[in-house]
Structure 1
């Protein structure tokens, strides 16, 4: 599924697309002898609204000076994060749907070919927590004597993959669809990454480490070269029980005209023992949606139909809302109110809340008739902070086939593990 490009990144790219940094050498003014020197502008985003200037057109050095605020002489790290990735995603409306099988299958991430197939010209997608794609059209101009004498443009693709078993994110960048017009020469062209750390009410961590390298010349990229970088954070840098580290990541491209950032996103590392002993690295600036259940499924269909009713027609569920109140059950994408995972063994508070969920479900179901082989199903899940024990009445219980109820519980736990859902992580539930 093609997930929407984040509005914040789009705004940054649109601003960046119209700006360039002066060449690293002094910019000559019209009428001086040095004005005949050949220079390059820094790389810009190139699209229909912000094309490269035509060869032979006048180069507006004044505009380049005025726009220098968008470019730097060296790569600049992103700002320190102050919110979790799922909070950012909810604010920006970025989500995806995965099943336990799908998350496991895509744990190796996406490659350049996959990203180019999904995003032929431009865009950004977080396919799931383990796979990321970014495609950006980039280019720059060659200037001499106050005129544009050449342009270079290409498609820039970054494919990222998270990992299970290590606290590492891998990023591969490639360039293709080169177009060189007018007078152009080989020269500096390199990709770099910087990171920023996290500071919030739950803890803090320093910026993540960046390792790797790639081509440094235009000709090397044209020959099919790729840049391979890894972003990592050791357990010792993590905070809290899960040894979490959250980092903003930024990619920039440098040529002789300067450096410009064109990609900003976020990653998370953890070593949660309840999700495996070796830790993981994921792309976390997205809201996961659990898609394990289907109304026609012979495995968990009875539970799926119950959840679908609770999400779409809560007034038809049991228990009824108190007089003068309307039930509004969270968890669907349409509701805009995600569930949050509750790990019962996290601490005493979590254990108490989980037990309250289970107790409320049992006491409510005690009033309902049922057949042999049926079990009481509840939604929102007992393993969420929005469960029946919350006390707001926004929940539903129903007797369903016991085998399917057990299967649904197994499927949910498998999804938590496969998609790396931590204690208090937000998520949606979709029914197929």
Structure 2
């Protein structure tokens, strides 16, 4: 779940965007956690752009031949041309994240998109819109496009970057409608969840949070970059302040033609992020993560370094009747129910003490054997043996295996910036 190359990929994307022709962006004053200042498109009516799925098939028959916008623009060369043609990046320059996102089409087209890891996310959302005349009685145009948003959070920095864009624009019109006059708007805003944050949470928005352009400009310069950050006060974690800021970044979408009401989609995309300065418990002292990512500890029963730990966890999850303490109807969390990290060393030791007592009750004195009491859920989770529901398991395994298993758990915590109370899952493979 690491992200070793996402900085490089973002730079590559930004460099391609910078090579495109210069355009003037419509800017708004950025505001910290002030979504009311962001652009909110008006609701759609029967006239104007509407979702093609809501239009009778009989109306679509004459508008079912998409034309790439570049070709359409050439055929309307008498119209004022916006922007300039630029070289499109060859396929081998496309980022790994984009390629992977396209393979996750079902998740990628949702509002939250596909969240690959704590540090990478993406949305690829296809649109198919019909333009009705001002009376709302006749379909006079059709617009297809893909909306992309790539997100990059950073382990080591309190920032998150979004590469947003509109691509693969295709159109069809009935005279006298002219698609070169159509526009698409992307408007970003952010909100802070104070109840899930530490005191005085703040987010710094980028200077430009809206881009409202004609299709020709989007076609020539399809992407733009936004950076959200959170200021920090330096190390405060020893005083109990991890400077956590729980925030959501939203994007609203608008599509318009000069003669009719615009199409509007509020919250076309949203991204949950958390900034922190948690210190060494998180690995790198500060960082940002996508909170919607599923974090998993993966172990294999064929891995010689942790095969005993893996088998113990597998039995606890799949065959709890084989484990101790034993009782009818026993279940153990971690596969479908998440575990939650526990950082408090005193409570961790209480879990270990109770688990060790259970091991001795079952196997007697095992000192000098080289075996150790392995516990699942782990002592470093809130679901450990002292939780009080007895939904845990203990087993004697070799000390070397037990020690390596502990290292794997810690690496999972720090690699994914799993803080106290954060959920994660466990997956055991063959």
Same-fold call, TM > 0.5?
yes
2:157 is the alignment partner of 1:166: yes
Q: 1:360 aligns with which of 354, 359, 369?
A: 354
Partner in structure 1 of residue 192 of structure 2: 197
Partner in structure 2 of residue 411 of structure 1: 408
- Asked whether the equivalents of residues 112 and 158 of structure 1 are also in contact (C-alpha less than 8 Å), the reply is no
- For residues 49 and 380 of structure 1, the distance between their equivalents in structure 2, rounded to whole angstroms, comes to 53
2:393 is the alignment partner of 1:389: no
Give structure 1 stretches of 5+ with no counterpart. Answer: 2-18, 28-39, 58-108, 345-350
- For residues 52 and 216 of structure 1, the distance between their equivalents in structure 2, rounded to whole angstroms, comes to 31
Q: 1:316 aligns with which of 322, 340, 351?
A: 322
| Aligned-residue offset at 1:192 | 2.1
| Aligned-residue offset at 1:425 | 0.9
- For residues 215 and 369 of structure 2, the distance between their equivalents in structure 1, rounded to whole angstroms, comes to 72
**Per the alignment, do residues 141 and 352 of structure 1 end up closer, same or farther by CA in structure 2, a change over 3 Å counting?**
same
Q: 1:135 aligns with which of 117, 124, 131?
A: 124
Give structure 2 stretches of 5+ with no counterpart. Answer: 2-40, 64-94, 257-261
- For residues 50 and 305 of structure 1, the distance between their equivalents in structure 2, rounded to whole angstroms, comes to 57
- For residues 393 and 144 of structure 1, the distance between their equivalents in structure 2, rounded to whole angstroms, comes to 66
| Aligned-residue offset at 1:288 | 2.0
**Per the alignment, do residues 225 and 396 of structure 1 end up closer, same or farther by CA in structure 2, a change over 3 Å counting?**
same
| Aligned-residue offset at 1:326 | 4.1
Q: 1:234 aligns with which of 228, 231, 246?
A: 231
Worse-superposed segment, 240-249 or 420-429: 240-249
Q: 1:263 aligns with which of 262, 269, 282?
A: 269
TM-score (norm. length: structure 2):
0.69
Q: 2:330 aligns with which of 322, 327, 330?
A: 327
| Aligned-residue offset at 1:168 | 1.0
Alpha-carbon RMSD across the aligned residues, in angstroms, is 3.4
Q: 1:398 aligns with which of 388, 395, 400?
A: 395
TM-score (norm. length: structure 1):
0.68
Match of 2:102, SS?
helix
- For residues 199 and 125 of structure 2, the distance between their equivalents in structure 1, rounded to whole angstroms, comes to 32
| Aligned-residue offset at 1:339 | 1.3
2:105 is the alignment partner of 1:116: no
Give 1:244-323 correspondences, 5 Å limit: 244-256=244-256, 257=262, 259-261=264-266, 262-273=268-279, 274-291=281-298, 293-321=299-327
- For residues 52 and 164 of structure 1, the distance between their equivalents in structure 2, rounded to whole angstroms, comes to 53
Q: 1:21 aligns with which of 43, 49, 63?
A: 43
| Aligned-residue offset at 1:412 | 0.6
- For residues 185 and 51 of structure 2, the distance between their equivalents in structure 1, rounded to whole angstroms, comes to 15
**Per the alignment, do residues 160 and 202 of structure 1 end up closer, same or farther by CA in structure 2, a change over 3 Å counting?**
closer
- Asked whether the equivalents of residues 198 and 204 of structure 1 are also in contact (C-alpha less than 8 Å), the reply is no
| Aligned-residue offset at 1:224 | 4.6
- Asked whether the equivalents of residues 45 and 136 of structure 1 are also in contact (C-alpha less than 8 Å), the reply is no
**Per the alignment, do residues 245 and 189 of structure 1 end up closer, same or farther by CA in structure 2, a change over 3 Å counting?**
same
Match of 2:60, SS?
coil
Number of paired residues?
335
Match of 2:324, SS?
coil
